Amino acid sequence: MAKKKKRRTTKKWYSTKKRQPTEWLVVLPGVLFVLGVGLVLYIQYTGAQTQERLANEAKQEELAKVKKKKEFINQLAPYAQELQQKYHVLSSITLAQSILESDWGKSSLAADYHNYFGIKGDDPDNTKEMTTKEYLNGQWVTTTARFRVYRDYRESMLDHVLLFAHGTSWDHNHYQHVVAATNYTQAAQALKQDGYATDPNYPEKLIELVKTYRLDQFD
């Protein structure tokens, strides 16, 4: 009778023992920590990228605004100087008023009707009725008034200077102090003295504009 051969068995080198739940509890905090650190680093990176992008956009926007302001000044300055030579109204004051009154040419009165100085009128044929703010009895009130309509900014600038040079229909010397001023500070104060604007801070606003944008270089 033949002997039965013994079946050879191969020992497995790895353990088939199942991991116990307690082992996962040991590993899980480490995994979560690594994921948490990665998430924090990702948020910080993307946040820094976003802040850099927003900063660049803000910088570009500011540069665009500065460029537009320079263009506005450079467009009006030559004619302001020409008018100063003829009518003795300082260019710095003409430019500062045009900036303040028209908000750098962006107001509807300036953009639509080329009125850069808020000059009013009575003739319905060459005026437009619009709302405006006036400083009356110690407070700002909204009212309506008729403002002159011009063909372009040069016509508006000329009318503005002629008002100072020739005065009003009831007083030809009404703005004599503005015309006689030898510097922008005197001229700004003279505008308040001669009743050009109702804003009690009008001279200070003009002076600040002249200083900020060095408008006196055109005088």
Q: Give tens-digit pLDDT for 52-111.
A: 777 777 778 888 888 999 999 999 999 999 999 999 999 999 999 999 999 999 999 999
Concerning whether 103 is annotated as a catalytic residue, the answer is no
Judge: domain 58-218, CATH 2.40.110.10. no
- Catalytic pick from 159, 199, 208, 216? 159
Residue 2 has pLDDT above 60, yes or no: no
The model's pTM: 0.73
Closest CA to 116 of 84, 163, 177: 163
Q: CB neighbours of 131 closer than 8 A, spacing ≥ 6?
A: 142, 143, 144
Of the candidates 151, 131, 153, the one whose C-alpha atom is nearest the C-alpha of residue 142 is 131
Average pLDDT, the chain: 86
pLDDT given for residue 26 in this prediction: 66
List the chain domain ranges.
58-218
pLDDT digits (tens, 9 = 90+) for 148-166: 999 999 999 999 999 999 9
Residue 169 — pLDDT band, cuts 50, 70, 90? confident
Q: Which of 82, 134, 208, 216 is catalytic?
A: 134
Q: Is 134 an annotated catalytic residue?
A: yes
d(CA 201, CA 198): 9
Report the pLDDT value the prediction gives residue 140, as an integer from 0 to 100.
80
